[in-house]
Amino acid sequence: MKKKYILFGFGIIGILLAAYAYYEYNRKAPDLKNKEAVENTTASLLLNDYASNEDSANKKYLGKIIQVKGTITEIQNQQDTSITILLGDTLQTGNVSCLMDSKHLEDVRKFTLGNVVNVKGICTGFLMDVELNRCVIVK
C-alpha cells in the first residue's frame, strides 16, 4: 500500500514538472513598448561611449532597456520575418544596429532612409556596431 502512495506522489511531481517545463518553453519575451527606458541617448553619443571605453559603456548600457534617437542609414529586411535598422550618420564608422521586435514590424515599414526615429531596445553589446535587440519604435 505504501508503494502506491510513493508512486502516486512521484507521478504528481512528474506531471507538475512537465507542466512547468511546457510553460517556460512557450513563454514569450515581454513587449518593450510599455517598458520604461533606463537610458535615453542619441546614436552618436552611444557610439562615442562604446568607442572611447567599452567596459564603462557596458556597465552603463549592457542588458538594459535604452532609447536611442538617430537617423536611419540602412534598413535590412530578411524575407519579411525580421527587420534590422541601422542608426548613425555618415561621419562615424559604426552604427547602432536595431533588430526590431517581430510584433512591431509594421511600425518600421513606414520609415525610409534618412528619417529620424526614436528606438527602444535591449543593449546586447558592441561588435562592429552597438547591438540592440527586441526594438520598438517610440512615437
pLDDT given for residue 20 in this prediction: 94
- Give Cβ neighbours of residue 83 (< 8 Å, ≥ 6 apart): 75, 76, 77, 99, 100, 105, 108, 109
C-alpha cell at 114: 534618412
In terms of C-beta distances under 8 Å and separation of at least 24 residues, what long-range contacts does 15-21 make, across chains too? none
Q: Is 50:130 a contact under the CB 8 Å cutoff?
A: yes
pLDDT given for residue 131 in this prediction: 95
- Give Cβ neighbours of residue 81 (< 8 Å, ≥ 6 apart): 102
d(CA 89, CA 91): 6
Each of the 139 residues of the chain gets a pLDDT tens digit; together they read 688 888 999 999 999 999 999 999 998 877 888 889 999 999 999 999 998 999 999 999 999 999 999 999 998 887 767 889 999 877 777 899 999 988 888 888 888 899 999 999 999 999 889 999 999 999 8
3-class SS of residue 72: strand
Q: What is the DSSP string of 22-43?
A: HHHHTPPPPPSTTSPPSEEEEH
CB atoms under 10 Å from CB of 49, counted, come to: 19
Q: Is 137:68 a contact under the CB 8 Å cutoff?
A: no
- Distances 127 to 25, 42, 109 between C-alpha atoms, Å: 29, 18, 26
pLDDT given for residue 2 in this prediction: 81
